[in-house]
Structure 1
């Protein structure tokens, strides 16, 4: 039996991986508070503005399975380094872009760099921590990673106002250079290997591996849990939260920024709690997700039916409850972890991770299309009524996701050994 790695070494590897993920989240979210500035800079409509995030999410979701296979083949360290460099290039291009087409290309590259990061971090956690600690550390990783979104919500707002578009985004790009150096110096794929390489995979082997992962109802349950929990908070944090709060609910830019930051507070507060709960009660993971989704649905319903702008306290409740959906989506990865052998872990995680971002992509585009339909005058003409129509698109996604969670929850429980699961054997 090999010796457990030193605590300091584990902390260093996890710390650098966590910081890399935080910076990726920062880049992913950096357009959220710049939507109105982007509309003015490029002279674009709501649907065109939504295309930035649509392409970013489309690329991110589409890359998840290939990235999972890359991580299984080349290891977390190499793939994460490539993602960090890609994000530096992407944000530099976005800072200098002076046309809509160039800006679209830059945001596409952001999606690629972002996609090359998170699954690497999940794989590192599974390699460096004991199985019974993985659910908690995974949740803490996802929770602390959202500090990157805080950086996009408040400091980025300040930087845009103080320095302007180009300097603010160039400063954001510089963060990745530091993380690339740290990854080279600190990160190892496992306690025994600096660079862990998997076997070469033929197309037939890739197909068989993905089919085996997808055929397990636990993977499918994790997929639909991720699909249903994440899209509301993602759409708010990436693009539509700021315009919704300012134009739809009549809040000041300062209040909107604080509300979006509160959503990150909810993520950070609830993540470790959920990690502890699923570690103690893994059989009830789907029950936790169902309860959280119904809570999000209920709060959104109150806000959208409120006569006139909702009061500030109600919007605080909205962002806090919606924010819990982010950590709840991480429960899907734990289903994938306990439903697949370690050699398929990254590819199974890729299958699951594309779910929430696919749903987020659909919602982001739907909101933009509905806003343009309701307010053809552009972003300056957005009305509260238009936002009520647009945000109601979420109900279609919730209905689909809840039905599928209930369906695969029964199938997964039929094939998973509860005793082994609760004893930590399934890891």
Structure 2
């Protein structure tokens, strides 16, 4: 039993770790989605074509994708503190470079540094949830994490558009870079990797299970174990198809699509993406909590992804509806997208606790690989049909061009739903073999 002082210390350290790391995660979402709101400014500043604009936005996703598995290895072996602190510093420098860039190449280099820095935040956040909280709350906590992280995505939509009336996009990114540097320093001084570092038991130990200790032995052996597990890979495809389309659409192409196909102003289009991302945030929390309460993963996941695919079919049809209805549809689409977030819980539960970082990083790679592929691919598909029209230095695409781009993303969403059919039901607990192996 813990004393009152120990309980207070555990609660304080847990809140500190959660608060600082989730703040860094919020910044990662802001950087991920901001190009959609400043697409016009970026196109004018760097005279960028659709494929160049998509490539600039996707630079973040390239490095983010490449870093997911290494991040899983690092948090399982070195711990969260050093990884998040270093990531904050790198992202801060990248944001400063991006905000002061005078060429497309320099802007891409800055965005690459940003992607490198923030690429560690989500897997580190999942590790915090696994180490500092009880297993039975993991789905709810992961949903809460995504809910809070999406504050950054929401800030990158309509609020960023409003802010651009008061400051330039360059000033915004310089200020964010300075904040990121301060956040990295705070993480280094105040975050602890796990309760055992200060002599406290973890929630798993209090329940009589083995603690979430760092992986013992070679990291290559642990990673190989995760990769050989077929149950790990089942969650990769919903992550690729559903997470990838969300990041590509909300992160770049949604605002231009709504402006050029449905005649909305940028502020109106940004309202739609903000509502979509808010729906995703709320859905992640509520569907995660519902999954924990029902002790089921697959039914909740599949229901969400069916609705998500149906929303893509509506976008593909390009049917213009009253604004209130289109806002509602975007909110529903965002809410339904959250079904794919349960793949992180499943990946953790079909592998040993000590390998939770590596397991979640493997499936998380899918979402960012999807975003990295789709942002420039959609631009390439639309550039192929572009008729040469320009307006204030920005390419204007036809409805047919956008239908081709939306068709590509609809296919990816369908792939995600098909992949979800093969996800193993874990009943919200570690598999018996994984837990037995951990405690041996």
TM over 0.5: yes
Q: Which runs of 5+ in 1 are unaligned?
A: none
Alignment of 1:286 onto 2:290: no
Alignment of 1:214 onto 2:236: no
Q: Compute the RMSD of aligned alpha carbons.
A: 2.7
Q: Within 1, Cα distance between the matches of 2:348 and 2:335?
A: 21
Instruction: Find 2:317's aligned residue among 305, 312, 320.
Output: 305
> Which is worse superposed, 170-179 or 253-262?
170-179
Q: What residue number does 2:407 align with?
A: 392
Alignment of 1:261 onto 2:265: no
Per the TM alignment, residue 194 of structure 1 is displaced from its structure 2 partner at its CA by 6.5
Deviation string, structure 1 residues 320-372 (Cα, Å, up to 9, x no partner): 13312553232011001111112211111110110111122222122101111
Q: Within 2, Cα distance between the matches of 1:138 and 1:182?
A: 23
Instruction: Find 2:48's aligned residue among 25, 39, 44.
Output: 44
Per the TM alignment, residue 113 of structure 1 is displaced from its structure 2 partner at its CA by 1.0
Alignment of 1:116 onto 2:127: no
CA contact (8 A) 2:46 2:104 kept: yes
Q: What residue number does 1:402 align with?
A: 417
Per the TM alignment, residue 237 of structure 1 is displaced from its structure 2 partner at its CA by 2.2
Per the TM alignment, residue 108 of structure 1 is displaced from its structure 2 partner at its CA by 1.0
Deviation string, structure 1 residues 346-400 (Cα, Å, up to 9, x no partner): 1111101101111222221221011111214264321222112211102322333
Instruction: Find 2:189's aligned residue among 142, 160, 185.
Output: 185
Q: What residue number does 1:20 align with?
A: 24
Q: What residue number does 1:169 align with?
A: 173
Q: Within 1, Cα distance between the matches of 2:168 and 2:220?
A: 48
Q: How many residue pairs get matched?
A: 416
Give the TM-score taking structure 1 as reference length. Answer: 0.90
Instruction: Find 1:342's aligned residue among 345, 353, 372.
Output: 353
Per the TM alignment, residue 301 of structure 1 is displaced from its structure 2 partner at its CA by 1.3
Q: Which runs of 5+ in 2 are unaligned?
A: 200-211
Q: Within 2, Cα distance between the matches of 1:122 and 1:220?
A: 18
CA contact (8 A) 2:10 2:195 kept: no
Matched ranges for 1:13-412 at <5 A: 13-193=17-197, 198=214, 205-283=218-296, 285-307=297-319, 309-377=320-388, 379-406=394-421, 408-409=422-423, 412=424
Give the TM-score taking structure 2 as reference length. Answer: 0.87
CA contact (8 A) 2:146 2:285 kept: no
1:162 aligned counterpart, secondary structure:
coil
Q: Within 1, Cα distance between the matches of 2:141 and 2:244?
A: 23
Q: Within 2, Cα distance between the matches of 1:398 and 1:255?
A: 25
